[in-house]
Every structure is written in structure tokens, then in C-alpha cells.
Structure 1
Amino acid sequence: MALFVIASCQLMIVLDITIVNIALPHIQSSLDFSTTSLSWVVSAYTLTFGGLLLLGGRFGDILGRRRVFIFGVLLFGLASLLGGLAQSSWQLLAARALQGVGGAIASPTALALITTNFREGPERNRAFGVFAAVSAGGGAIGLLAGGVLVEWLNWRWVFFVNVPIALLIAFATPRVIRESERHPGHFDLAGAFTSTLGMVSLVYGFIRASQDGWRDPLTICAFLAAVVLLSVFIFVERRSRQPITPLHMFADRNRAGTYGIMLFLAAAMFGMFFFLTLFVQNVLDFSPLEAGLAFLPVSAVIAVGAGFTSQLLPRYGPKPFMVTGALLAAAGLSWLTLTDVDSTYLGSILGPMLVFSLGMGMQFVSLTLMALSNVRTAESGAASGLLNATQQVGGSLGLSILVTVFGTASRHEAEVQVPQFLAQATPLQRALFERTGQLPDPWGDQVLASGVSSAFITAAAFTLVAAVIALVAIQVRPSDLERLKGTHAPDAEDARAN
């Protein structure tokens, strides 16, 4: 029962990204988001989740993991309720940010609770295996659940569904999970909040630029604020007794390269899912359930790629898989740049998605291993937690850059399509266009497809940068390869931030 409660919490948090992704087109039309501002529905969650993840793990260590776990779960449930009730875009974005805070508190403590409730050895290892399986399968479950909920009910239920789950978890936790021992420590609140706010400012600057241009005063102020906040963050971390981000982790070239690769790969991956979700529902007219089913092969191929990579890693080491995986991801995204209004799922979408997914499956195992390579046991939790945080923050930042590219390309395409539309429009269509500024189909589809294709060009460039980093920065010594042949059971520190 303890494992069931812990795994249920992780499933709720993991599936939240994919379950919401399927609902994005319906959220957009219901709350009047523009396509560029819609990216905040994803970024508001991932920025707070990634930015506060290590702080959430520290809360559990110092205050007691069970009570912090319950608080995080209830906060996540409350934020989900507020998201489902949202009547305007800002209300939904505030709820998504609060969801990220709840997830950042609950997720690391959920994994760490395994170490305090299961005996070291086979029992604990089986518990970690179940936890990992839930984490891996959560995305696929979210795709199906999102499609069913949006199609049979409405988009608000992708949030409401979390509320009863969170309440049941909070009710069951004190009855089946033991409290952990408290450890003295220091909360690096200044580091956590300056880094999170700095990244929020940076993401806002890119999204603002996509809508109002690079010379807009608020765009410039956002980038200046990001520079100041992130500079303060580095200053704080260098002077802190217990920094939330140990900067010396970046001194090792293999580990620093690993974080850089994850940053660029996550940027490409978040963008691919965001834009393809809009494309298959808005251009290909897929229903939400059809869209969820359309993305299921991605999860399956990632699992296949991760499976054979884990078997071959001890023999060949991680570098060949990191380089090859990044190149496969680049090939898939380059193929997706050919997407246009005449594309079909089987002819133009499925193939490149599978190539991209195979590359990402090869990467995930390799990156996790390299993040923990040559790390002292006491710092393994921080090393793996930094990799997770890098994925969330890199995805948010990359998505904002891709949205900027999308917005610029869409505006240019609209300048071409508007005269063609006006030459054929009826008086009613003209009046509607003047009132809303939105082009009807097929002109609107052409604008969307052009923007999506341009975004994929930039996403492919991200993965090529990741391949170059893997080729140049990763240097695996023979001793590292010997270590890969052994087994390593995660300990409490591994668990805390994984």
C-alpha cells in the first residue's frame, strides 16, 4: 500500500504534462489564448517545477518527508481545482505555476520515501523498479486520459481528475507511510527564487518578442531583469553554505556536457510535442482522443531505444549513443520541417516522430548515467536532480524560443495569405476578419503550418548542437566503463532528487 500511494503520486505528476498537452487547442479557444501565449500553459508548470525541484527535496530532508509529501500533494490538488475552474487566461497560468510548486515539493519526496519505507536490497530495488515504470508510462497514460477526458467531457477535466486522486493520497499517506528522520540543514530560498524568476523573465522576454517585437520596452526590460536575476543567483550560490545548485558540479566536463545536452534536447522535445499537438488537431482535424492515440508510438519507441541502449552501454560506453541519439533526433525534426497543409499523419508525421523518439530513447539512459559518473555518494542526489531540473528549464526556455520563431514566421506568412483571402472573401468573411483578426481556413491552416515548419528548423538546430556537445565534451575513461559493468542500487541521496 505504501508503494501504491507513492507511485500514484508520481503518476499524477508525470502525466500532467501530456494530459494537458492534448487539451491545448481546446484551452486556447475557450480562454482566448494566442498560439504564442498558449505556450505559457506548459512553461508556467515546468518553470516552477524545475526551478524549485531541488528546494522541494531539501524541504523533505529537513522538515520530514511524509509531512512535506502530503503538503505537496494537497497543494497540487488545490492548484488543479483552481485550473479547472479558471475563467480567464491569467487564472489558468497562475494555477499551472502553483501546480509546478506542488509537483516540485511532492515528486522528490515521493521517491525519497521509498528509502525510508523499504529495506535496502531486493525489496527496495523492486520498489524503485515500480516507481521507474510508473514514471516512464505516465506520459502514455496522460495521452490517452487527456484524449478521453477532453472528447467525452471537456478540457477542464484534465485538471479536475487530479483532485480526488490528491485527496485519496493525502488521506492514505499517514496510515501506510512512515515518517522519515529530520536532518538539520539550510533552505537556499534566495538561490531557488532568483533562478526561477530569472528563467521566467527570460522566457517572458522571448514570448513577448514573438508578439510585440524585439524593440518593445517590456521585451527589453524582461531580458535585462533576467540578466540581473541570474547574475544574482550565481553570486548567491557561490556564497551559500548549502547552495540549491552546487556550481562545482559543472567543473567536470562530462557532467557539464551532459547538462548541456539535456538542455538542448529538452528544448527540441517540448517544442515538437507542443506544435504537433496543435497541428494534428487544428490542421489534420484529429479529435482529442485521436491525437492522444497518434502520439502513443512515441512512448513505445522511446522505451525500445532505452532498452537496447541500457544493454549495450557497458560494452560501448555512453558517448556513441549520445552522439547517435542526437543525430537521429535531428534527422526526425529535419524531416518534420517538410510539414505543410497537405501533410498526412501516416505519410508525413509518424515516420519522423519515430526516428526522433528512437534517438531520445538512446539519450535518456546515457544522460542519466553520465550525470552520476564520478559523483560522490553524498552528492548523487544533487547531480541527478540537476539533470531533471535542466530538462524542465531547458524545455521551457527552448519552447519560448521556438514560439518566437513560430510567431515571426506566422506573421510573414499571414502577410502573404491576407491579400489572397481578401480577394476571395465574402462580405461576411471580411467583417469577421476585421473584428477578430483571424484568418479562416484554409488560409489560417497555411499560416499555422508555415510557422510550425519554421519552428522545427530551429528545433533541429538544437539537437545538432547537442550532438556537437556530445562529440566534443564527453570523454569516458576506461575506469568509467568498468564501473558500468557493475550494479548500483540507489541509496537515499540518489532517491532524494531523482
Structure 2
Amino acid sequence: AALSLVMQVFPPGPARGKALGVWGAVSGAGGAAGVLLGGVLTEGLGWRAVFFASALAAAAVLAVGLRVLPDSATTGDGLRSLDIGGAVAVTLGLVALVYGLTTAGRSGWTDTWVLASIAVSAVLLVLFAVLELRHPRPLLPPRLVRVGAVAPANVVMALLGGVWVGLFFFLPLYQQQVLGDSPLRAGVTQLPLAVANMIGAAIAPRLARRIGATPTLTVGMTLLAAGLLWLSQISADGSFTGDILGPTVVVGLGLGAAFVQLTGAAVTGVPAKDGGLDGGLVNTTRQIGGALGLAVLGTLAASRTEAARGTTHIVALTDGYRIAFLVSAAIAAVGTALTPLLARRATDPATPTPAAERS
């Protein structure tokens, strides 16, 4: 809904590019800010305070949003127009899939519950696809994924979400469990990453106007992959300045630039009537990619740590985190390789067509 508002308020062109830059900077910085504030709250009041603070923040956003956000027309169809069956099927299907992938890390891929969860997930997701084809107002209209670069942009966004969530999960764990940092120090040291992310998001629209959106996206994804590959070289006796500072700055620059360009590509050329659906799709794709990516990366890291039990506990943990960052780099590299598909499926978001302007 928030992204839909951005698309409605800012028409295609430089103004929308700047708005998406702000959107990307805030979104990326929010992850690092969450780690920082989470460290402060955990160390000062305990881990439960994180959830109370999140609830208060949501209430504050709601209160401010009701005052400052523009209203929009509604269809008045009410609950009868909602695709309840599709929503239930896709939600339960994704929950079953994430549960199966996560459980595999400790129970093995041949475990009955793992296999059953993945099988149930497959059935529910197929059911979701069938329901979307039959419902008069589906949750995910099939026509939407055929517009412009919506389909490839969402695929790459899912990959980006996987490495994004994995980064903010494994990096603080490495700092606290291996380097011995406190939650507060682990949070504070996320600031260079947050600043680099904001810089990457801010310069992405300008760079896109000079060299094109797809080359800018390629640069961002390449920086992200390179930074994650660099992070995979962390050591059990490392330090923040020697093992984390450099690669996280590279990751932050790439992450900010890539997120802005992917969001722009995913919404360019979509008719105004589908703006809300498209905004919801690209954000949901990022969250789904994050959940699935973290499940896979967590399973691989746990398996690697278990296999290294013959060494010290610190070395075993480091081996697990290294494999998580290495696989994340590979995922980002796959996303980089897919970026040419966006150029084939849509015109450059940095230079919108008249049709895009009319939509």
C-alpha cells in the first residue's frame, strides 16, 4: 500500500526516480537501524522490549499516516470481492515451505515432517495458481506478471530479499558469537552499512539517468555479490575493521542501488489500476524471498557448523557463517546474470515511454 501511494503521488520520470531513491534509502536503513535499536533495547531492557518497541512504532506510523497520507477512492465491493481462498492457500503454502526448509536443518532432508511439509506446500501453491485463474478479482491477476519487466524484476527481487535478510541475520550473530561483541556494539557497527545503503539508494536514480536503469542495476547487484564474497572470508580470530567494515560498505552501496532499480523496474509500465497490486507484489516477493532464503541459508550454515564439530566451537560457527555468506554471494551473482532480462521485457525506467506516462 505504501509503495502504491508513492506510485500514485509521483508520475513516471525524474520525480518518481527521486522518490524511489528515498524509498530505497529508508527501507535499507531501516534494517540496519533495527539491528542498532534492537541492540540498545536488548542490552538495556531485555529482548522482549524489541517487540514492544515495534508495536509502538507501528502505532506511531498509523497515527501519522492517518493525518498526512492522501486518501484514495475505493470500489465499495467490500469483503465479497476479496480473494479469501487465494490468500489462505498462498499463506499456508508458504508457511509449510518455510517450515519444511527450516526443519531440514536439524532433522535432515529425509525426515517425514520435512517431506510432508514440502509436499503440502506444493499442493497448496498449485491450488493457489488454480484459484487465481478462476477468481473474478484474484489476489495475483495473471495479467500482471505479463506486463513489462514485472516477472523478471520480481524474481530478482526474491533473490535480493534472500541475501538481504540473511545478511542482517548472520552478520550480528558472527559479531556476537565469534567476535564477542555485545548486542549494542553489534548494532552500532551496522551504521557504516546503513550509510552506504542510503548513499547507494540516493545515487542510483542519477546514475540510471546517465547510463540506463539496467546497467545501474547490474552494477548494484555486482557490488552486492562482491561484498558478500568478501564477507565469506571472515575468520574466527577476526575483527570489525579487518573482516567486516570494508565488505559491508560495498554490500551497502550495492544493496541500495539494486533495491531502488528493481522496485522501479517492477512498477514501470503497469496501469494505474494495478498500481496497488504491483506494489504489493514486489514487496511480498522480497519478504517471501527473505523467508525462504533465510531458511535455506540457515540450514546450510547449521549443517556446516555440525560437520565442523571436530574443531573448536568458534571455528565451527565461523565455518557456518562463511558458507552462508558464500552462498549469498552466489545467489546475488545469479540475480546479476538475470538483469538483462529486465531490459528485454521493458523499456528503460529512467526514460519512460508516453504509454507509461499515460498510465
- TM surpasses 0.5: yes
Change (3 A) 1:401 1:376: same
* 1:373 pairs with 2:268: yes
Contact 1:314/1:484, CA 8 A, preserved across alignment: no
2:327 matched to which residue of 1? Answer: 458
Correspondences of 1:174-193 after superposition (within 5 Å): 182-185=74-77, 186-193=81-88
Structure 1 length-normalised TM:
0.63
Q: State the shift of 1:208 in Å.
A: 1.2
* 1:157 pairs with 2:49: yes
1:32 matched to which residue of 2? Answer: none
SS in 1 for 2:351: helix
1:143 matched to which residue of 2? Answer: 35
Structure 1 residue runs without a partner (length 5+): 1-107, 418-442, 492-498
Contact 1:314/1:485, CA 8 A, preserved across alignment: no
SS in 2 for 1:286: coil
C-alpha distance after superposition, 1:2-25 (max 9, x if no partner): xxxxxxxxxxxxxxxxxxxxxxxx
Change (3 A) 1:284 1:146: same
Change (3 A) 1:140 1:184: same
Q: State the shift of 1:482 in Å.
A: 3.3
Change (3 A) 1:477 1:142: closer
| Partner Cα separation in structure 2 for residue 178 and residue 350 of structure 1 | 41
Correspondences of 1:386-397 after superposition (within 5 Å): 386-397=281-292
2:202 matched to which residue of 1? Answer: 307
| Partner Cα separation in structure 2 for residue 463 and residue 130 of structure 1 | 21
How many residues align? The count is 350
Q: State the shift of 1:169 in Å.
A: 6.8
Change (3 A) 1:166 1:199: closer
Contact 2:26/2:198, CA 8 A, preserved across alignment: no
Q: State the shift of 1:249 in Å.
A: 2.0
Contact 1:255/1:370, CA 8 A, preserved across alignment: yes
Q: Which amino acid aligns with 2:282?
A: L
| Partner Cα separation in structure 1 for residue 62 and residue 346 of structure 2 | 46
Match 1:348 to one of 230, 240, 243? 243
SS in 2 for 1:349: helix
Change (3 A) 1:465 1:269: same
Q: Which amino acid aligns with 1:366?
A: Q
Q: State the shift of 1:202 in Å.
A: 1.0
Contact 2:226/2:250, CA 8 A, preserved across alignment: yes
Change (3 A) 1:245 1:355: same
Contact 2:98/2:295, CA 8 A, preserved across alignment: yes
Q: State the shift of 1:139 in Å.
A: 3.4
Correspondences of 1:66-81 after superposition (within 5 Å): none
| Partner Cα separation in structure 2 for residue 304 and residue 175 of structure 1 | 30
Correspondences of 1:88-487 after superposition (within 5 Å): 108=1, 132=23, 135=27, 137-164=29-56, 182-185=74-77, 186-252=81-147, 254-414=149-309, 416-417=310-311, 443-475=312-344, 481-483=350-352
| Partner Cα separation in structure 2 for residue 457 and residue 479 of structure 1 | 31
| More displaced stretch, 244-253 vs 369-378 | 244-253
Q: Which amino acid aligns with 1:451?
A: G
Q: Which amino acid aligns with 1:331?
A: A
Q: State the shift of 1:248 in Å.
A: 2.0
Identity of aligned residues (%): 33
Q: State the shift of 1:144 in Å.
A: 2.9
Q: State the shift of 1:410 in Å.
A: 1.2
Q: Which amino acid aligns with 1:228?
A: V
Contact 1:313/1:484, CA 8 A, preserved across alignment: no
Structure 2 residue runs without a partner (length 5+): none
Q: State the shift of 1:141 in Å.
A: 3.5
SS in 1 for 2:140: coil
Contact 2:269/2:356, CA 8 A, preserved across alignment: no
SS in 2 for 1:161: helix
Contact 1:405/1:451, CA 8 A, preserved across alignment: yes
Contact 1:333/1:356, CA 8 A, preserved across alignment: yes
Structure 2 length-normalised TM:
0.86
| Partner Cα separation in structure 1 for residue 173 and residue 192 of structure 2 | 18
Change (3 A) 1:334 1:110: closer
Q: State the shift of 1:161 in Å.
A: 2.4
Q: State the shift of 1:289 in Å.
A: 1.2
Change (3 A) 1:486 1:285: farther
Contact 2:347/2:353, CA 8 A, preserved across alignment: no
